[in-house]
């Protein structure tokens, strides 16, 4: 058993972070205790780390604990990456005070762009969630993970690429996957398992290089790549202009009687760089 205390620079809205995680039935969250149990993978070894909020929005403090002391520092480092504890949210908030998004940033002050627990599960989840309403997407993902994944200390890990590569389309069809979605999920598992897709190497490449590599894979389109860049890699300057939620948020913000055109969106976002990902995040939050 190990424990550590981590203090970071505020602002940081941890309660909003775990409230969002609580929506997913796979996540182990105790809102009243300000606690989330996080599954992390380091060199294919599984760990569970408890992350408990102790501080305030302005002075965030976290207590971390785990049962496996092996690679403790790496576990802490990965938790810090997932929760984006080194991102200067105060600086980002100050940047947007000079823009049309100032009121939204004030309302959602200190909301971080938190990553999915690992890149492969993020990519798999994106494929499963494509073109589904959120409730059924969570249901389908939960069936998939609890059938083929691994449970450790009450926390579920997505199945490994090697496991997914050996699943049949018929097995996923029995869970209410469409044939095409089943083929996509299995195909990505095979690509990673066979070394045709190296997510570790990919994560160090430019956004253009990542797009050009992922777009070649069957089932992966622009929407999935943008989600992967945002929520697996935490790239700070991405703006998914074709996203319906973003368009609806901009329609509301600028009091339009229609969705904005892509040309209009290009004009709106001129002053939001180099933090376009945060503009997108806060716009999504503004219509939830």
Residues carrying an active site annotation: 243
Question: Which of 124, 121, 119, 116 lies closest to 217 in space, CA to CA?
Answer: 124
- Cβ 49 vs Cβ 28: under 8 Å: no
């Amino acid at each position: 058993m190990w424990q550590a205390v981590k203090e970071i620079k505020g602002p940081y809205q941890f309660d909003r972070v775990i409230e969002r995680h609580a929506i997913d039935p796979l996540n182990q969250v105790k809102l009243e205790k300000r606690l989330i149990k996080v599954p992390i993978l380091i060199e294919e070894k599984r760990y569970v780390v408890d992350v408990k909020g102790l501080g305030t929005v302005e002075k965030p403090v976290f207590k971390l604990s785990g049962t496996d002391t092996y690679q403790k520092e790496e576990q802490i480092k990965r938790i810090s990456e997932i929760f984006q504890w080194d991102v200067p949210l105060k600086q980002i908030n100050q940047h947007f005070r000079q823009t049309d998004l100032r009121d939204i940033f004030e309302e959602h002050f200190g909301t971080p762009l938190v990553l999915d627990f690992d890149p492969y599960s993020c990519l798999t989840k994106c494929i499963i969630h494509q073109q589904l309403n959120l409730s059924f997407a969570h249901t389908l993902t939960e069936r998939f993970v609890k059938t083929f994944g691994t449970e450790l200390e009450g926390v579920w890990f997505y199945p490994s690429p090697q496991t997914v590569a050996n699943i049949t389309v018929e097995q996923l069809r029995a869970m209410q996957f469409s044939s095409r979605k089943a083929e996509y999920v299995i195909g990505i598992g095979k690509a990673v398992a066979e070394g045709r897709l190296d997510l570790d190497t990919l994560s160090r490449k430019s956004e253009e290089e990542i797009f050009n590599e992922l777009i070649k894979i069957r089932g992966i389109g622009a929407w999935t790549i943008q989600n992967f860049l945002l929520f697996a890699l935490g790239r700070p300057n991405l703006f998914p202009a074709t996203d319906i939620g973003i368009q609806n948020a901009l329609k509301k913000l600028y009091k339009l009687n229609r969705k904005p055109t892509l040309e209009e969106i290009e004009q709106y976002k001129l002053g939001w760089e180099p933090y376009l990902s945060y503009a997108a995040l806060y716009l999504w939050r503004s219509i939830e």
